[in-house]
Structure 1
Amino acid sequence: MRRPLAGLTRHNVLREALSGVTLLAISVPLNIGYAQIAGLPVTAGLYALVVPTLVYALLVSSRQLVASPDAAAAALVFSSLTGLGIAGADFPTMAAAQAIICGLALLFASWLKLGFLANFLSKPILVGFVAGLALEVLLSQIAKMLGISLESGGEFFENIASLITRLGETSALSAVMALAALALLLAGRRFAPKIPAALVVLIVATVVTVAFGLDERGVAVLGSVPAGPPRFDLPSLSLSQWMAIIPSALALALITMAEGVLVSRSYADLRGYRVNADRDLAAFGAANVAAGLSLSFAVGSSTSRTAAMDQLGSRTQLPSIVLALGSLLLLLFGTGLLEGIPSPVIGAVVAVAVIRLLGVAELRQIARQSRYEAAIGGACVLGVLILGPIGGLLLAFVLSLVNLVRRAAHPEVGALSIPADPDASLTDVTEDAQPDEAGTLVVRFAAPLFFGNGATLAGYLDDATRDSDGRIRTVVLDAEAITDVDVTGAAALRRAMDALEARGIGFSLSRLRPELRARFARFGLLDEGVGEFATTREAVRVLRERYGPPRDS
């Protein structure tokens, strides 16, 4: 079991603490923006930096992963809860309840050791889903930067049309401030990545706004932020209201599971330490329950903040603890400093953070490698924009299953080339099924044999031997890659074997796994007349000796 703050030594404690100060500078402006994306008060974003962050840092197995709300999760919170429209329940209460259910689902998944399920959301699907959410966030932030208020809960394409038709309402001062902030943020990312550009921009913009009274000239500001530590309470909802929130909470849990486990594993592999996926799920679960009870909203893995800490050389969870303590001090003594922050600049900060989530480079790379999978990613983007986050997630799962079934139903199947030298390798796969000089055809099937692909193997054997004109005397099925067989797959192979027998062609198996032999025997695939060989090379040698030269056609 990993001790808290694993990797922390007296040699790196100063570096880790300073990294925590940087993390605080990055996280405060981002969480203010993410709370606004989620339709929640600023305090909900700040509360997420205290108790949930501390709980996560003390429980997680990863030394580097930072837990916090992110843009995609905030968009999912807003879209899903707006779509529910639960009567008699306010947004903060629903968001807190959603976080609790999400946390309980993650704790249950950890208890059942379901961390491996994170592997079942493929990269194209995850990139596409997050990109769809990011587009919704980006549109809302563009409106904020222009000083235009879009209708709450509107559909993505309706909001685009609304924004275009209302461009005449643009606040010139808001747009200028946002453009200046964007330029500084992008320049900071390019030329001074270690400086917390977001914090610097917010401080400068706030000073300018207060000094010149821009809030009285049409520039929206954050306004009053209640001071004090996080308050703890159980969300007051009826049973039917709790039940209505479950689907969106499970969607959040799934995204947290997929992103969190994969990012945690990637950094552990990169930096040479081990993580426990199920323990990480428990940490996310506990953090989300803490978020809900402290009137915040769902937290997940923050890839941008984790990357920033990695660049600074941080290899422990001390920065997250510094973040929690610093955020608490801000809530106690510094909320007055936040009142004059201009909303257009918050929109610029969030927009720059969200740009990375659009996945343009990832989708281009996927398209170069596989157009089919790139199309799946694109479909997920449209699914989120048209169907909403829950509908988009369901579409992602359907596409994932279709992709899985498509691949399983069409595994690699081909004939091995058989050289004249009996000691030579039999590893080359040929596109055309060609027997050797003794009429032996070796076929390799690289998948479990089940209901989805049994017909594929049977069809290949039929096509390969239908017009052989006596050139093929026996078929050897190299079964090393067959890891399982079910009733339907066995029936398909049995029919293929009967068809071969009717044509006077023998059938043999080579390299059949010992644990599968009993199942093959139970399904009647090892009847008398079916040859069995320990190796394919032995099968070819024996059959060459048995059949000799091929008979005339």
Structure 2
Amino acid sequence: MSETAKAGARKFARYLPILDWGKRYDRSALTSDLVAAVIVTIMLIPQSLAYALLAGLPAEMGLYASILPLVAYALFGTSRALAVGPVAVVSLMTAAAIGNLGISDPATYAAAAIVLALLSGLMLLAMGLLRLGFLANFLSHPVIAGFITASGMIIAASQLKHILGIKASGHNLLDLLLDLGRNLPNLNPTTAAIGVGATLFLFWVRKGLKPLLIRLGLRPRMADILAKAGPVAAVAVTTLLCWGLGLNERGVAIVGAVPQGLPPLTLPAFDAELWIGLAGSALLISVIGFVESVSVAQTLAAKKRQRIVPDQELIGLGASNVAAAVTGGYPVTGGFARSVVNFDAGAETPAAGAFTAIGICLAALALTPLLFFLPKATLAATIIVAVLSLVDFSILKRTWIYSKADFAAVAVTMALTLGVGVEIGVSAGVLLSILLFLFKTSRPHIAEVGLVPGTQHFRNIRRHAVQTVPSVLTVRVDESLYFANARYLEDYLYDRVAGDRGLKHVILMCSAVNEVDSSALESLEAINQRLESMGVTFHLSEVKGPVMDRLQRAHFLDELTGRVFLAQYDAATELDPSLLQQTPQLRKIA
């Protein structure tokens, strides 16, 4: 094979990770993947139905979104353990996105969800091909944690109407709670008994069933499988009760007829108005889903010293969402709980997801008629138990202690998500994070530094006993220089130099400067000229290679009144050798 052909093959293989791990696939990996697939399938069947209910969609769309998307991710994804499918937060965002359009017709609502999946998939694919995975870094972890916590509370509250058998609506927590309170007198006792009972059972299953089974003599692996099957047991028992006792005739809401068969091939509606209306929501869902998915994938990969490629993850998730759109599903991403289960169950490769898809296919073919009498209260219990594990109020305490700016971002995100809605909440969180970043970097930490006695190190004169001389001022700026902070550096130096008659040299220590943009370059030129007019020479020290390359392409170094020193020690001692004889001093922090 020619070198050109080999290079082409390598480039093609980069977009198909299966060509890498597939070459090493063996019987041991097959066995591990099959076991993991069985466990995740058991978990995913009730979750898929429940999350479709949360999104306001027919139950079967949850199953459809759990088949071909898993196969697509197995082909294009890089995580060995990530389990893709419907998740709570994305389901809630789907409901909010379509709800904003005021769609009430069920068929049009479902069609909008399919378009949302397609838009999300296309956006993720485009971001992956353009290698824009870094854009997700604009969503800080505290903001995501605050958003997920607030969303978890809204999701749990939204399901109480199914638990209690009453009607309630609202896109934020306050509206939901008020509507629940108004309709509480209409509570259906039979539905409440099923819903509360299923919820308590599922909470107990999460913590208590596995230890009990082990005490009864079961091996840990089998006990774990049976514990994961807890939601299936709840579904089976409550469905049988509803069927046998005719509880649907007593007002218990049931899933009803679920179409039997494989997912249909669907062609998303090409309605320009609908696409434009959903575009902003699709972008938010894409970014939130990607961040959540990559966070889980990287955490699990680190445990086995494996590598995740974020840009390829965008392609994998994009392909999964496109697959969901063409098979009657709705937006999907990597789920935290099922991915952890997949990892703990021993999944070795993404093939475990493909095997899970086969399991869901079999369920869609054989089990859907049995779901007719499944109470919606049971599915609501499944959702509540799953999402409450995502609620983490400790993020408020941690950010308050560590960073008031991060606390502000978290608090605003949570407050707006709970009080206004999910899209406004996460949008405000992202915007506030960016504004706080710009504010912090626009006022970088600037330190006047001196020589630590007996060393060649320079440290902040307000924190260490250091040696300085009146003729030389060394300033260290701990941030890259760009348009937002360039004037701040100018003002700092002018204020510091003004009135200091004995000053002859100013050294800008650039050890923490990774970038100097055009605006900052103009500021450096202005500083150089201003200092020259004051009879002060301007020098640079410890300039990094990439920064020096940029400066050399400009005329700045030709006009620089001083020199560029490789090391700060060389600069300070050469400009005034008497520095070495000075008595160390410590100035108190103002």
TM-score (norm 2): 0.86
Alpha-carbon separation, structure 2, partners of 1:21 and 1:519: 57
- Are residues 1:83 and 2:100 paired? yes
Range with greater deviation from structure 2 (374-383 or 206-215): 206-215
> Could you say which residue in structure 2 is the equivalent of 1:527?
559
How far residue 518 of structure 1 moved from its aligned partner, in angstroms, is 5.7
The 3 A distance-change label for structure 1 pair 451 and 431 is farther
SS of residue matched to 1:273: coil
Alpha-carbon separation, structure 2, partners of 1:167 and 1:368: 40
- Are residues 1:39 and 2:56 paired? yes
> Could you say which residue in structure 2 is the equivalent of 1:451?
483
> Could you say which residue in structure 1 is the equivalent of 2:375?
342
Residue in structure 2 matching 1:183, options 193, 200, 207: 200
SS of residue matched to 1:34: helix
The 3 A distance-change label for structure 1 pair 469 and 385 is same
Residue in structure 1 matching 2:355, options 311, 322, 326: 322
> Could you say which residue in structure 1 is the equivalent of 2:90?
73
Residues 416 and 426 of structure 1 are in contact (CA less than 8 Å); yes or no, is this contact kept in structure 2? Answer: no
How far residue 288 of structure 1 moved from its aligned partner, in angstroms, is 0.8
Range with greater deviation from structure 2 (38-47 or 141-150): 141-150
- Are residues 1:482 and 2:482 paired? no
The 3 A distance-change label for structure 1 pair 86 and 73 is same
How far residue 525 of structure 1 moved from its aligned partner, in angstroms, is 5.7
Give the total of aligned pairs. Answer: 546
How far residue 237 of structure 1 moved from its aligned partner, in angstroms, is 4.6
> Could you say which residue in structure 2 is the equivalent of 1:102?
120
SS of residue matched to 1:447: coil
SS of residue matched to 2:307: coil
How far residue 232 of structure 1 moved from its aligned partner, in angstroms, is 0.7
Instruction: Give the counterpart letter for 1:123 in structure 2.
Output: H
RMSD over equivalenced CA pairs, Å: 2.6
How far residue 63 of structure 1 moved from its aligned partner, in angstroms, is 0.8
Residues 490 and 523 of structure 1 are in contact (CA less than 8 Å); yes or no, is this contact kept in structure 2? Answer: no
Residues 520 and 526 of structure 1 are in contact (CA less than 8 Å); yes or no, is this contact kept in structure 2? Answer: no
Alpha-carbon separation, structure 2, partners of 1:427 and 1:192: 60
Alpha-carbon separation, structure 2, partners of 1:536 and 1:264: 43
Deviations 1:95-152 (A, max 9, x none): 011111111111111111112222221101212223333232111111211111213x
The 3 A distance-change label for structure 1 pair 176 and 469 is farther
How far residue 163 of structure 1 moved from its aligned partner, in angstroms, is 0.8
> Could you say which residue in structure 2 is the equivalent of 1:376?
409
- Are residues 1:141 and 2:159 paired? yes
Residues 487 and 523 of structure 1 are in contact (CA less than 8 Å); yes or no, is this contact kept in structure 2? Answer: no
Alpha-carbon separation, structure 2, partners of 1:413 and 1:514: 21
Residue in structure 2 matching 1:507, options 538, 558, 575: 538
- Are residues 1:3 and 2:18 paired? yes
Alpha-carbon separation, structure 1, partners of 2:580 and 2:294: 57
SS of residue matched to 2:421: helix
Residue in structure 2 matching 1:541, options 563, 570, 573: 573
Residues 230-241 of structure 1: pairs in structure 2 closer than 5 A: 230-241=263-274
Alpha-carbon separation, structure 2, partners of 1:214 and 1:104: 44
Residues 56 and 284 of structure 1 are in contact (CA less than 8 Å); yes or no, is this contact kept in structure 2? Answer: yes
> Could you say which residue in structure 1 is the equivalent of 2:141?
123
Deviations 1:368-397 (A, max 9, x none): 322321220121122334443333333233
Alpha-carbon separation, structure 2, partners of 1:289 and 1:519: 43
Once the two structures are aligned, what percentage of the paired residues are identical?
27
How far residue 427 of structure 1 moved from its aligned partner, in angstroms, is 4.1
Residues 102 and 298 of structure 1 are in contact (CA less than 8 Å); yes or no, is this contact kept in structure 2? Answer: yes
The 3 A distance-change label for structure 1 pair 348 and 452 is same
Range with greater deviation from structure 2 (521-530 or 240-249): 521-530
SS of residue matched to 2:300: helix
Deviations 1:8-27 (A, max 9, x none): 43234323212211101111
Range with greater deviation from structure 2 (346-355 or 51-60): 51-60
Alpha-carbon separation, structure 2, partners of 1:233 and 1:349: 29
Instruction: Give the counterpart letter for 1:493 in structure 2.
Output: L
Residue in structure 2 matching 1:200, options 233, 236, 244: 233
Deviations 1:198-250 (A, max 9, x none): 12222222223333332222322222211111111213353322332222222
How far residue 445 of structure 1 moved from its aligned partner, in angstroms, is 1.1
Range with greater deviation from structure 2 (208-217 or 157-166): 208-217
Alpha-carbon separation, structure 2, partners of 1:484 and 1:128: 32
- Are residues 1:442 and 2:474 paired? yes
Instruction: Give the counterpart letter for 2:446 in structure 1.
Output: V
The 3 A distance-change label for structure 1 pair 279 and 157 is same
Range with greater deviation from structure 2 (243-252 or 62-71): 243-252
Alpha-carbon separation, structure 2, partners of 1:198 and 1:451: 55
The 3 A distance-change label for structure 1 pair 523 and 453 is farther
> Could you say which residue in structure 1 is the equivalent of 2:7?
none
The 3 A distance-change label for structure 1 pair 198 and 501 is same
Residues 182 and 348 of structure 1 are in contact (CA less than 8 Å); yes or no, is this contact kept in structure 2? Answer: yes
SS of residue matched to 1:14: helix
Alpha-carbon separation, structure 2, partners of 1:371 and 1:448: 23
Alpha-carbon separation, structure 1, partners of 2:104 and 2:49: 27
How far residue 463 of structure 1 moved from its aligned partner, in angstroms, is 4.0
Residues 438 and 548 of structure 1 are in contact (CA less than 8 Å); yes or no, is this contact kept in structure 2? Answer: no
Structure 1 unaligned residues grouped into runs of 5+: none
How far residue 68 of structure 1 moved from its aligned partner, in angstroms, is 0.5
Alpha-carbon separation, structure 2, partners of 1:430 and 1:9: 62
SS of residue matched to 1:275: coil
Residues 209-224 of structure 1: pairs in structure 2 closer than 5 A: 209-224=242-257
- Are residues 1:353 and 2:386 paired? yes
How far residue 291 of structure 1 moved from its aligned partner, in angstroms, is 0.7
The 3 A distance-change label for structure 1 pair 547 and 175 is closer
Structure 2 unaligned residues grouped into runs of 5+: 1-12, 211-223, 583-590
SS of residue matched to 1:357: coil
How far residue 32 of structure 1 moved from its aligned partner, in angstroms, is 0.7
Instruction: Give the counterpart letter for 1:276 in structure 2.
Output: V
How far residue 517 of structure 1 moved from its aligned partner, in angstroms, is 3.6
The 3 A distance-change label for structure 1 pair 536 and 100 is same
